[in-house]
Amino acid sequence: QVQLQESGPRLVKPSETLSLTCTVSGGSIRDYYWSWIRQPPGEGLEWIGLIYFTGNTYYNSSLRSRVTISVDTSKNQVSLSLHSVTAADTAVYYCARAPAWPTGTKFDYWGPGTLVTVSS
Amino acid sequence: DIQMTQSPSSLSASVGDRVTITCQASRDITNNLNWYQQKPGKAPKLLMYDASNLETGVPSRFSGSGSGTLFTLSISGLQPEDFATYFCQQYDSLPPTFGGGTKVDIK
């Protein structure tokens, strides 16, 4: 059974960089697409971006200037960096697996999510 | 970006009821739509893909229909474990976008 687990600092100061790691266990990171999705408290879901195990990335244009997603196949990890954060970036951040992209994109496995608060 | 509008935003129902949730896309997305269930404090769970296909392990009381711009998720015979928030998600056009959610709670 594939499992995803997000990890990283829960509190980030405004203007700094939010950094999270998603560790995949129970399966290989290869041959799949790995996405970051966030959900502000009490709000809906926003897709941030996605990476293939080869390193090809796709970002939401609304965040592209501030986002970097990377992959480490040796560690079965995907990482997210979000630069110059503000309070509006406070959210639960999820990593999720997509078996296909962009045709047939469905997120079939998700991590439990981690709440990141941006505050001084 | 394609806007996804769900209705209602919340509803109250009883165990055993049939519940229908609607998701409307801002433009034609053919059948490129998924449905997720989210319980408080938990990650979303994929229920339906390609508008009407049941994800493995999801009970058959869940069904999805629609194409173009209008889609529905139905739950026939609501069970206690079905009280949750439901989201639709389109993948016809980048970026993938989600509906605002429909919260189903106990009447």
- Concatenate the DSSP letters of all residues of A57-119 into one string: EEE-TTTGGGEEEEEETTTTEEEEEE-S--GGG-EEEEEEEESSSSTT----EE---EEEEE-
Regions in chain A scoring below 50 on pLDDT: none
What's the number of CA atoms in the CB half-sphere (13 Å) around residue B41?
0
Chain B nearest CA to A72, separation (Å): 24
Which of B38, B48, B89, B102 should we substitute to test contact with A (largest number of A Cβ atoms within 10 Å)? B89
Q: What percent of chain B has pLDDT over 90?
A: 95
Mean pLDDT over residues B6-20, rounded? Answer: 96
Q: Could you report the per-residue pLDDT of A12-44, keeping only the tens digit for each?
A: 999 999 999 999 999 999 989 999 999 999 899
Q: C-alpha distances in angstroms, A43 versus A25, A91, B13?
A: 29, 9, 22
